[in-house]
Amino acid sequence: MKALLIVAHGSRRTASNDEVRELTARIRELAGARFAQVDCAFLELAEPSIPDGIECCVQNGADEVVVLPYFLSAGRHVISDIPGEVEGKQQQYPDVNIHIVPYLGSAESIPELMLQLAS
Amino acid sequence: MKALLIVAHGSRRTASNDEVRELTARIRELAGARFAQVDCAFLELAEPSIPDGIECCVQNGADEVVVLPYFLSAGRHVISDIPGEVEGKQQQYPDVNIHIVPYLGSAESIPELMLQLAS
């Protein structure tokens, strides 16, 4: 069973966290059979935490958890903090394949998407 | 003459600001004749500022400046800070059409793009 965990920074502003939850719901709908579970987690300031989000996937039977950073730049959060949070759960569940895929800002189609927004 | 100004938050981390500058260069290449000028500006922590970015477009002959927020959520920066910075330049140059288009996170294709990254 394959799960997708969208990881966002988290905000003091509830509406920003809710934007992430709504995005997650749209991804869940689109995913169809590609992922049995699609949820979100937050690095800080909102719940669930990344370890709790991974825990939920594992408890639901995931043997693969794809962690997708909803971030625009490869800053400290993407390079160190998120891998650090994931590492602890990977050690706890060595039989579950937990891996981090490239962050949103690295997607090759972002420039074209930006031009569409600008037109 | 139409200019596109990509507006990012700005970071203490030079590499993050450089990521925005590289993205801007890719957008400039892709834009072709759609925009005579494509540049970036930063809300804080990096240069140029948003007013300075708009000023550069106007000095280069722009009669339309499209401001595109490179942000993921409709937080304070997108809702108040960027419009506030733009407003001052609009008052200074009433004959230039300066307008802010929807921020990156609001693009309808983001969910599909996220699924592509996850696959």
Q: Can you tell me the mean pLDDT for A50-64?
A: 98
| Interchain CB contact of B110 with A (< 8 Å) | yes
pLDDT at residue B75, as a whole number: 85
- Give the pLDDT band (50/70/90) at residue A80: very high
pLDDT at residue A39, as a whole number: 98
pLDDT digits (tens, 9 = 90+) for B60-118: 999 999 999 999 998 889 999 999 999 999 999 999 999 999 999 999 999 999 999 99
Q: Provide, as residue numbers in chain B, all residues whose Cβ is less than 8 Å from the Cβ of A116.
A: 107, 109
- Using the beta-carbon criterion (under 8 Å), do A118 and B4 form an inter-chain contact? yes
pLDDT at residue A67, as a whole number: 98
Q: In this model, does residue A61 exceed pLDDT 90?
A: yes
The ipTM (two decimal places) reads 0.93
pLDDT at residue B74, as a whole number: 87
| Interchain CB contact of A13 with B (< 8 Å) | yes
Exposure string (b/e) for A97-113, b if CB count within 10 Å is 16 or more?
ebebbebbbbeeebbeb
pLDDT at residue A104, as a whole number: 97
Mean pLDDT across chain A: 96
Tally of domains within chain A: 1
- Using the beta-carbon criterion (under 8 Å), do A118 and B13 form an inter-chain contact? no
Q: Can you tell me the mean pLDDT for A41-45?
A: 97
Mean pLDDT across chain B: 96
Query: Which CATH number fits the domain that encloses residue B20?
Result: 3.40.50.1400
**Which DSSP helix (H) or strand (E) runs through A56?**
helix A50-59
A38's CB contacts (< 8 A; 6+ apart) are: A3, A4, A6, A24, A27, A28, A31
- Give the pLDDT band (50/70/90) at residue A75: confident
pLDDT digits (tens, 9 = 90+) for A21-33: 999 999 999 999 9
B30, B72, B80, B108, best to mutate vs chain A, most A CBs in 10 Å = B72
CB–CB contacts below 8 A, A to B: 108
How many angstroms separate the CA atoms of B96 and B48, rounded?
20
Which three-class secondary structure state does DSSP give residue A66?
Answer: strand
Q: Can you tell me the mean pLDDT for B15-42?
A: 96
What is the spatial order of strands in the sheet that B64-69 belongs to? B37-42, B2-8, B64-69, B97-100
- Give the pLDDT band (50/70/90) at residue A63: very high
- Using the beta-carbon criterion (under 8 Å), do B119 and A20 form an inter-chain contact? no
pLDDT at residue A34, as a whole number: 96
A82 to chain B nearest CA, in Å?
A: 16
Q: Provide, as residue numbers in chain A, all residues whose Cβ is less than 8 Å from the Cβ of B35.
A: 118
pLDDT at residue A74, as a whole number: 87
| Interchain CB contact of B68 with A (< 8 Å) | yes
- Using the beta-carbon criterion (under 8 Å), do B72 and A76 form an inter-chain contact? no
Q: Provide, as residue numbers in chain B, all residues whose Cβ is less than 8 Å from the Cβ of A102.
A: 117
Fill in the amino acid letter for A79. I
Comparing CB atoms, the residue among B16, B107, B118 nearest residue A113 is B107
How many angstroms separate the CA atoms of B114 and B39, rounded?
26
Q: In this model, does residue A94 exceed pLDDT 90?
A: yes
pLDDT at residue A10, as a whole number: 94
- Using the beta-carbon criterion (under 8 Å), do A11 and B75 form an inter-chain contact? yes
**Enclosing domain of residue A57:** 2-118
